[in-house]
């Protein structure tokens, strides 16, 4: 019995691969010096293929299923062995299992920025990265071209090569598409499909099928991103003068609720109006002042600005100039009855009595009267 057990242990009855890894592409069945028994069982599970190799030459390939190994289902190996009339004795052959399931969430990225021409920003350096998925399509090509005699070939051994192919191809593809850089983010699905079409033939040369390419993000230089943000902000603001007036009115309203901040609000209003006024007036003044200076003419001095103190909620605020006072009239904080004072006046007087303020109240509605 001991001799029989020893002989039985040297023969392989079941050939199978229970894959407990997440990254193995190719696995060689550990036959060592043992021989495969005639009528042995071959078990190939879903997501696998088995390849028989005899003396370095690929013989037979099996898909998912359970097989009893005979000359009938090993026709190529039977021919190589010269078994014309069947065989009863054990035989030697290398058996490789290939995982044909999809390997997903594999990362890729451009090895460096690619330069493309943009109609708005000129030459722009763009980067991109994403994910891809692949699986073994032809085990015989994969073994012949990539794995060779490796007994345990994992995805890590080829991932850098595949990732590099995608990164290089997108550096070719982006300039060809001539898509404006601000529209690239909306074209990521299209870019992924085009990349897959471009690179699939190169993968098939390895016996691999490229099943998906995702472009997750397109990176732009920081200065281009800042320019896009500024352009968007200016479109949101629209009319700068109207925006400045709106902000000024809000500042005055807030200051009225905080008497201690009235002076600061006045300064802030002046700054805000100054910015809007300077930007709006500078363009117009340039057109008139430059020709006059060219002709040797000197403009007269600017008229003295009216500065008034205003009594708000029983407290003195100011001084304010006419642009600020106009905003206060529009906000309803300065009326004809509001007490005002300026240098040279003996006492406080109603705003409606000052000729300088007459134009401010011309377009203001009269106070509401109760029935």
Which residues have a Cβ under 8 Å from the Cβ of 255 and sit 6 or more positions away? Answer: 261, 262, 264, 265, 266
Cα gap 324→310, rounded to integer Å: 11
Residue 262: enclosing H or E segment and its boundaries? helix 262-294
22-36, 135-149, 236-250, 327-341: least confidently modelled range? 236-250
Instruction: Quote the tokens at residue 343.
Output: 């240098």
Q: Is the Cβ–Cβ distance between 245 and 277 less than 8 Å?
A: no
Residue range 188-207: mean pLDDT, rounded: 91
Residue range 299-319: mean pLDDT, rounded: 73
pLDDT of residue 46: 94
Residue 336 has pLDDT above 90, yes or no: no
Residue 65 has pLDDT above 90, yes or no: yes
pTM over 0.75: no
Residue 207 has pLDDT above 90, yes or no: yes
Helix (H, G, I), strand (E, B), or coil: what is residue 316?
A: strand
Residue range 158-164: mean pLDDT, rounded: 89
Phi, psi of 314 (to 5 degrees): 75, 10
Residue range 73-84: mean pLDDT, rounded: 71
* Mean per-residue pLDDT over the chain, rounded: 77
| Percent of the chain at pLDDT exceeding 70 | 69
């Amino acid at each position: 019995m001991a001799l029989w057990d020893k002989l039985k242990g040297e023969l392989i009855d079941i050939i199978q691969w229970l894959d407990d890894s997440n990254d193995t592409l190719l696995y060689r069945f550990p036959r060592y010096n043992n021989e495969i028994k005639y009528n042995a069982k071959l078990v190939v599970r879903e997501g696998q293929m088995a390849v028989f190799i005899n003396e370095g030459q690929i013989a037979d390939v099996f898909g998912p299923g359970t097989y009893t190994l005979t000359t009938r289902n090993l026709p190529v190996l039977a021919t190589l062995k010269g078994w014309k009339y069947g065989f009863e004795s054990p035989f030697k052959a290398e058996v490789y299992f290939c995982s044909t399931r999809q390997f997903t969430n594999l990362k890729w990225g451009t090895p460096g920025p690619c330069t493309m021409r943009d109609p708005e920003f000129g030459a722009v350096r763009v980067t991109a990265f994403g994910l891809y998925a692949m699986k073994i399509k032809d085990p015989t090509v994969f073994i012949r071209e990539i794995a060779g005699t490796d007994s345990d070939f994992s995805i890590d051994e080829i991932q850098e090569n595949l990732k590099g192919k995608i990164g290089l191809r997108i550096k070719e593809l982006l300039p060809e598409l001539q898509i404006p850089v601000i529209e690239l983010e909306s074209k990521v699905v299209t870019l992924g499909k085009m990349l897959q079409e471009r690179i699939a033939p190169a993968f098939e040369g390895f016996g691999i099928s490229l099943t998906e390419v995702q472009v997750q993000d397109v990176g732009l230089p920081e200065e281009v991103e800042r320019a896009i943000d500024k352009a968007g902000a200016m479109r949101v603001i629209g009319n700068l003068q109207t925006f400045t007036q709106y902000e000024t009115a809000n500042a005055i309203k807030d200051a009225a609720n905080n008497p201690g901040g009235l002076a600061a609000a006045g300064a802030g209003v002046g700054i805000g109006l100054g910015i809007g006024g300077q930007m709006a007036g500078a363009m117009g003044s340039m057109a008139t002042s430059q020709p006059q200076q060219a002709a040797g003419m000197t403009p007269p001095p600017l008229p003295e600005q009216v500065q008034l103190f205003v009594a708000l909620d029983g407290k003195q605020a100011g001084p304010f100039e006419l642009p600020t006072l106009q905003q206060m009239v529009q906000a309803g904080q300065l009326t004809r009855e509001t007490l005002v004072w300026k240098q040279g006046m003996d006492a406080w007087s109603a705003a409606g009595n000052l000729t300088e303020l007459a134009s401010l109240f011309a377009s203001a509605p009269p106070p509401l009267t109760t029935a």
